[in-house]
Amino acid sequence: MSSNYSIFVKLGSNKELSKLELSVLLKKIGVENIAFTEWMDYILLKLNRNSFTKFFKQLDKTGSIVKAGYINSSVNIEKEDEWKLKIKDHLVMNINKHSSDKNKQLKVALDVQTKSLELRNNIVEFIRTTITNYSKDMKLLTKILGIKKTYSQLTPYQFYKENLHRRGFEIICFVVKSKLIFGITNWVTNPLLDIKQDEGRQTRLFTHGTSIKLSRTLVFLSEVSDEGLILDPFCGTGTILIEALKQKIRTIGVDKDPKCFRATKENLNAFSLKYPAKAKMKDKWVVYSQDSRDLGKTLTDKNLDAIVTEPHLGPFLKDLPSKEEARETMKSLEKLYIKVLQEGSSFLKNNRKIVFIIPVYRYPDGLEVNPNIERIANQCSLLIQERSEFFHVSVPVQIGRKHNVINRYLVIFTNHSS
């Protein structure tokens, strides 16, 4: 198989989580093995033509990957004349491609990744003068973004606020060992869409919601394809369900709190109304108000493709509880998870995933108190996924912010195939 398309992927602030998603993405598009370089926050890899096209189509479904694009060329960094010539050609080609009558002001952004500040300044300065001079010659109005007194890379938010996807392009340079590698950003995660979706929600209950980005990641990691069926047995306000529905996955939500049940219904109704095929969307979801420890009564004849959830994580706390209280809480959560997963997994098709989050209390003396994952797996006849297919990620993966009272781990279980 020929591997002749080079791409770069920028990982999110939780690199392990992004690598896990990237690994699932590659598996999904049929990649069997991959040569890659991990460089700062980036992964550089090669794909064949077929995988290359499929790759970019999948990126919108991920939640933690920041951006990706093509690598055009690489040159020896020692040969300054050579790299300057190549970068100039690359810039001129892209300016010509992106400037048109409609594009009154062309915008260009830079992302320069090197550990040497001197080298970075040299590259940034060269690119800046090349663009300025060429624009002057061609009588083009070009705005260079991110370079004022000091250089700073655009955030995804700025990328879309500046309309860069319509009004210009971003050039990317990496200096990896002795090579200067450069290319063009082709995809950036769009936080404006998530903000719009969040503001457009009918009902928000802050203590009951999973973030949109994390929900998208969880759904993606479940590896369910179009028209599959996902269960969220602790559906809160329905964020995971909406992310699944956006991927054309059918969903069942369950929550024992009537307030959450109503919130989920309102959110899903509002989402369905905005969706182009309104009538069809209404048939793709159902929500139940009940205790998930009794799931069996409700699911009866359902065949699930995955269970995806951020479950109840214990009482809302401002400070760490005493170790005794923490142990008690975790014991009761473990019992809850075992019961719900025993009920839910009996409706899973063979060899399917349960993407689950468990809470962890971490004490200053290094003690961690959490529900026992091995015991949950044993009691529910599940296997625990220990690593990713590619990129050597150990699973469970820690998620969430360090200063939170409760830390969280993302766990992936698989049921046995018979």
Ligand X SMILES: C[S@@+](CC[C@H](N)C(=O)[O-])C[C@H]1O[C@@H](n2cnc3c(N)ncnc32)[C@H](O)[C@@H]1O
User: Where along the sequence are the contacts to ligand X (CB under 6 A)?
Assistant: 208-210, 215, 232, 234-240, 254-257, 260, 291-293, 309-313, 336
Q: What is the smallest separation between the CB atom of 242 and ligand X, expressed in angstroms?
A: 8
Residue placing its CB nearer to ligand X in the complex, 281 or 307: 307
Residue placing its CB nearer to ligand X in the complex, 21 or 232: 232
Please, are residues 201 and 241 in contact by the beta-carbon 8 Å criterion?
A: no
Burial label for 194, CB within 10 Å (0-12, 13-18, 19+), is middle
Cis peptide before 396, with omega less than 30 degrees from 0?
Answer: yes
Q: What is the smallest separation between the CB atom of 229 and ligand X, expressed in angstroms?
A: 17
Q: What is the smallest separation between the CB atom of 176 and ligand X, expressed in angstroms?
A: 39
Q: What is the smallest separation between the CB atom of 93 and ligand X, expressed in angstroms?
A: 45
Residue placing its CB nearer to ligand X in the complex, 195 or 383: 195
Dihedral (Cα; 86, 88, 89, 92), 10-degree rounding: 160
Please, are residues 183 and 172 in contact by the beta-carbon 8 Å criterion?
A: yes
Q: What is the smallest separation between the CB atom of 287 and ligand X, expressed in angstroms?
A: 11
Other CB atoms within a 10 A radius of the CB of residue 383 amount to: 13
Rounded-to-integer distance, Cα 45 and Cα 35, Å: 6
Q: What is the smallest separation between the CB atom of 284 and ligand X, expressed in angstroms?
A: 16
Q: DSSP letters of 179-236?
A: EEEEEEEEEE--HHHHHHHHHT-S---GGG---HHHHHHHHHHTT--TT-EEEETT-T
Residue placing its CB nearer to ligand X in the complex, 20 or 219: 219
Residue nearest ligand X by beta-carbon distance: 236
Please, are residues 174 and 44 in contact by the beta-carbon 8 Å criterion?
A: yes
Residue placing its CB nearer to ligand X in the complex, 198 or 227: 198
Q: What does DSSP assign to residue 403?
A: T
Q: What is the smallest separation between the CB atom of 261 and ligand X, expressed in angstroms?
A: 9
Q: What does DSSP assign to residue 385?
A: P
Rounded-to-integer distance, Cα 39 and Cα 174, Å: 9
Residue placing its CB nearer to ligand X in the complex, 236 or 396: 236
Contacts of 47 (CB under 8 A, 6+ apart): 3, 5, 7, 31, 34, 55
Residue placing its CB nearer to ligand X in the complex, 183 or 233: 233
Q: What is the smallest separation between the CB atom of 296 and ligand X, expressed in angstroms?
A: 13
Query: Tokens representing 388?
Result: 């990713």
Rounded-to-integer distance, Cα 345 and Cα 381, Å: 9
Residue placing its CB nearer to ligand X in the complex, 10 or 408: 408
Task: Enumerate the β-bridge partners of residue 171.
Answer: 110, 184
Q: What is the smallest separation between the CB atom of 361 and ligand X, expressed in angstroms?
A: 16
Residue placing its CB nearer to ligand X in the complex, 17 or 235: 235
Long-range contacts of 226-229 (CB under 8 A, 24+ apart): 228/305, 228/306, 229/302, 229/303, 229/304, 229/305
Long-range contacts of 195-201 (CB under 8 A, 24+ apart): 197/242, 200/270, 200/274, 201/237, 201/267, 201/270
E strand or H helix at 282, and its extent? helix 278-282
Residue placing its CB nearer to ligand X in the complex, 106 or 336: 336
Q: What is the smallest separation between the CB atom of 254 and ligand X, expressed in angstroms?
A: 6
Contacts of 397 (CB under 8 A, 6+ apart): 14, 16, 17, 20, 409, 410
Q: What is the smallest separation between the CB atom of 195 and ligand X, expressed in angstroms?
A: 17
Residue placing its CB nearer to ligand X in the complex, 316 or 318: 316
Longest CA–CA span in the chain (Å) reads: 74
